[in-house]
Amino acid sequence: MTISDNTPRRWLRRAGEARLEFGADYNPEQWPRAVWDDDVRAMREAGVTIVSLAIFSWARLEPRDGEYDFAWLDDAMDLLHANGISVDLATATASPPPWLTTKHPEILPVTAEGNTLWPGARQHWRPTSPVFRGHALRLVRALATRYADHPALVAWHVNNELGCHNVYDYSDDAAVAFRAWLQERYGDVAALNDAWGTAFWSQQYSDFEEILPPRLAASHPNPTQQLDFKRFSSDALKEHLRAERAILRELTPDVPVTTNFMVMGMKPMNYADWADEVDFVSNDHYVVLPNPQARDELSFSANLTGMLAGGRPWFLMEHSTSAVNWQPVNVPKRPGDLARDSLTHVAYGADAVCFFQWRQSRAGAEKYHSAMLPHAGTESAVFRSVTELGRRLRELAPLAGSVRTLAAVGIVFDWESWWVSEQDSHPTDRVRYRQEALDWYTALLDNGIRADVVPTGGDLEAYRVLIAPVLHVVPAELAARLTRFVESGGHLVTTYFSGIVDENDHVWLGGYPGALRDLLGIRIEEFAPLLDGDTAELDNGVTGTLWTDRIDVVAPEVEVIARYKTGEQASRAAITRRPVGEGSASYVSTRLGAGGLAAVVPSLIGPAGVVSELPPELRGRVELAVRGDHRFLINRTDEPVELPSGTLEPRGVRVVT
């Protein structure tokens, strides 16, 4: 999971020069055959090199149980190949056909409230249904057999966005699979009772058979049951991926297998745990508006995806050329956004830039979602921007295969802390894990400091500074690892609600921040979250919201960087730093937001000797990313920025060698 690891990675099966791939999901089955010829002509004009095919084609490929119709797909594959366009072929299992759900309604997912998710949209299948699995694998086998040697085939695309709509299924199939998963994890029911703390509220189990998914209950369901159900649900979809992959590897061992992640969009999948399951990492990203940090969030997503890929090239499987269709109001992108968004992904290691989708649909739920070829046709600003992007990607071909250069600062990203810190029955339900992490990222960008977003299992030791916002779940080994990091000269910065529980969501006793208390040299007896609208001013001019702590400084060497000036904690420490040999451990006890954090970042990372790699006049205005000997300079503003190499237009990206 890190640049130094040895996980084998495979890129596309393709002969020829290294290049950056460019393309989209292609859904030719939505169009008459005559349109396909126009499609490939326009694809060539735009510089398309690859398309993802057959993602939602199950009903077309298998119109009746066990009866296949491959003629149209043969035709599409041949046409694309004849035009020099490669195919990332989907296994087509994302959306089961009506005959299957009619015959087997028992494959339909069930919500926590007991409602069935009926057919009519997509992804209406239970991840643990043996019936669904059997039918899906039969289709995968048929496709792999038919297209194994097709010269257009360069990669397999398993299903699509696994878990996007069906990750949490509370059906009877899920109950059976959950019990088996728990039995595997705990061995016996006594160990489960212990882990789940079932002495509370008379929940003690005498047999695994008594256990259910956390279905709608009278009050807060058992927190560890909730956590295990989240782990199980991520694992259940990973099992589905593995099952399809096994067939693909058996029949087409030379074709790499991927599936598109949604690293920022989908909290339920623990992608750090999925990353090694694919031959190359793929990700989908959509800009969600309105959001003043929208492009920082895009960068964060690209950054994390690149780290999941071990710093090596990854595949941007989907983003949008302009508006999406699934927000309350869907605004188009502004001039420059399309290129900036795409090239930011490239800056963090994407060697393929693809979109949903090639041709904008005429019918169906996504007809107002932008595409490479919009309703207006090739005579359109979108198509011209697309073509211009294709040209730039060809120019950037020398980047292909280059590895990202690590930063000195790592932001630790931990899926289990994300899950648990936002569960119910907590000191406050206002904690937003992802937003806190993003605020630190923005604060570093505002200071012109490059940072990597690293999963907890990654190579944390490679960094001079580690920022671990809301690192809530800290098992003993992680506490030991962070202690070693600091004792060997590393600088750790953590925040409120960190170090609180172990892997079973049991509180570390003796005072907060539990597992990190001694390392930080502070002790907190009670949490003191803030009510909405309440604030706490600090004596360094920044303002906290959401949370405060009543900190007692315990270790004499602890320096108080800032104190509370107002509110219940007035005069108490708000931000602390404990020097440990050459290293240090710092604690920020309140939510400062991106602006407040930007103001305190220098005092927290300055002592580590980390300085911006940008000249002072560019800091904050320009984002820097480094791939091998290429430096990406991304204009974060809507104003032109003067660079030594000339003016960088608003939202522009310059790649310098």
Residues tagged active-site:
161, 318
Mask 74-113, x = binds ligand GAL (CB under 6 A)?
----------------------------------------
Token couple for 481 = 């690892």
- Between 354 and 598, name the residue whose CB sits nearer to ligand GAL: 354
Helix axes 381-395, 337-347, angle to 10 degrees: 30
Torsion on CA atoms 516, 517, 520, 521, rounded to nearest 10: -160
- Between 235 and 318, name the residue whose CB sits nearer to ligand GAL: 318
Please choose, out of 159-167, 380-388, 606-614, 620-628, the segment that lies near ligand GAL by the rule CB under 6 A.
159-167
ω into residue 529 within 30 of 0, thus cis?
A: no
- Between 161 and 279, name the residue whose CB sits nearer to ligand GAL: 161
Q: Least CB distance from residue 58 to ligand GAL, whole Å?
A: 14
Cβ atoms 26, 355 nearer than 8 A? no
Q: Least CB distance from residue 286 to ligand GAL, whole Å?
A: 6
Report how far residue 304's alpha carbon sits from residue 453's, in angstroms, rounded to the nearest whole number.
5
- Between 164 and 460, name the residue whose CB sits nearer to ligand GAL: 164
337 contributes a contact to ligand GAL by CB under 6 A:
no
Token couple for 18 = 């290294």
Closest by CA to 344, choosing from 270, 443, 445, is 445
Q: Least CB distance from residue 449 to ligand GAL, whole Å?
A: 32
Token couple for 55 = 């993602």
> Which residues, at least 6 apart from 465, have a Cβ–Cβ distance to it below 8 Å?
408, 409, 410, 490, 491, 492, 493, 605, 608, 610
356 contributes a contact to ligand GAL by CB under 6 A:
yes
Report how far residue 140's alpha carbon sits from residue 498's, in angstroms, rounded to the nearest whole number.
44
- Residues 369-428 contacting ligand GAL, CB under 6 A: 369
Q: Least CB distance from residue 566 to ligand GAL, whole Å?
A: 44
289: left (phi over 0), alpha (psi -120 to 50) or beta: beta
Report how far residue 248's alpha carbon sits from residue 158's, in angstroms, rounded to the nearest whole number.
9
- Residue 56: strand pairing partners: none
Token couple for 119 = 């057919």
Token couple for 31 = 């169009």
Q: Return the residue of 241, 248, 309, 324 that touches ligand GAL, per CB under 6 A.
A: 324
Please choose, out of 158-166, 271-279, 382-390, 578-586, the segment that lies near ligand GAL by the rule CB under 6 A.
158-166
- Between 291 and 488, name the residue whose CB sits nearer to ligand GAL: 291
Task: State phi, psi for 14 to the nearest 5 degrees.
Answer: -160, 135
- Residues 248-307 contacting ligand GAL, CB under 6 A: 284, 286
- Between 308 and 324, name the residue whose CB sits nearer to ligand GAL: 324
- Between 92 and 467, name the residue whose CB sits nearer to ligand GAL: 92
Q: Return the residue of 49, 123, 160, 421 that touches ligand GAL, per CB under 6 A.
A: 160
- Between 121 and 199, name the residue whose CB sits nearer to ligand GAL: 121
Q: DSSP H helical segments within 330-475, as ranges?
A: 337-347, 381-395, 415-421, 433-446
Task: State phi, psi for 381 to the nearest 5 degrees.
Answer: -65, -40
Cβ atoms 276, 7 nearer than 8 A? yes
Q: Least CB distance from residue 318 to ligand GAL, whole Å?
A: 6
* Residue the block writes with tokens 């604690």: 587
Please choose, out of 63-71, 124-132, 157-165, 458-466, the segment that lies near ligand GAL by the rule CB under 6 A.
157-165
Q: Least CB distance from residue 325 to ligand GAL, whole Å?
A: 7
Helix, strand, coil abundance in the chain, percent, nearest 5: 35, 20, 45
- Residue 95: strand pairing partners: none
161 contributes a contact to ligand GAL by CB under 6 A:
yes
Amino acid in position 153: L
- Between 55 and 449, name the residue whose CB sits nearer to ligand GAL: 55
157 contributes a contact to ligand GAL by CB under 6 A:
no
The 3-state secondary structure of 221-256 reads: CCHHHHHHHHHHHHHHHHHHHHHHHHHHHHHCCCCC
- Residues 164-193 contacting ligand GAL, CB under 6 A: 164
- Between 284 and 341, name the residue whose CB sits nearer to ligand GAL: 284
# binding residues, ligand GAL (CB under 6 A): 10
Report how far residue 94's alpha carbon sits from residue 92's, in angstroms, rounded to the nearest whole number.
6
Token couple for 607 = 């002592």
Q: Least CB distance from residue 266 to ligand GAL, whole Å?
A: 9
Cβ atoms 185, 281 nearer than 8 A? no
Report how far residue 452's alpha carbon sits from residue 463's, in angstroms, rounded to the nearest whole number.
9
Q: Least CB distance from residue 356 to ligand GAL, whole Å?
A: 4
Q: Least CB distance from residue 53 to ligand GAL, whole Å?
A: 13
Q: Least CB distance from residue 282 to ligand GAL, whole Å?
A: 11
9 contributes a contact to ligand GAL by CB under 6 A:
no
Please choose, out of 46-54, 147-155, 156-164, 271-279, the segment that lies near ligand GAL by the rule CB under 6 A.
156-164
- Residues 470-489 contacting ligand GAL, CB under 6 A: none
Angle at 309 between CA 307 and CA 313, to 5 degrees: 110
Please give the residue ranges that form the binding site for ligand GAL (CB under 6 A): 160-161, 164, 284, 286, 318, 324, 356, 366, 369
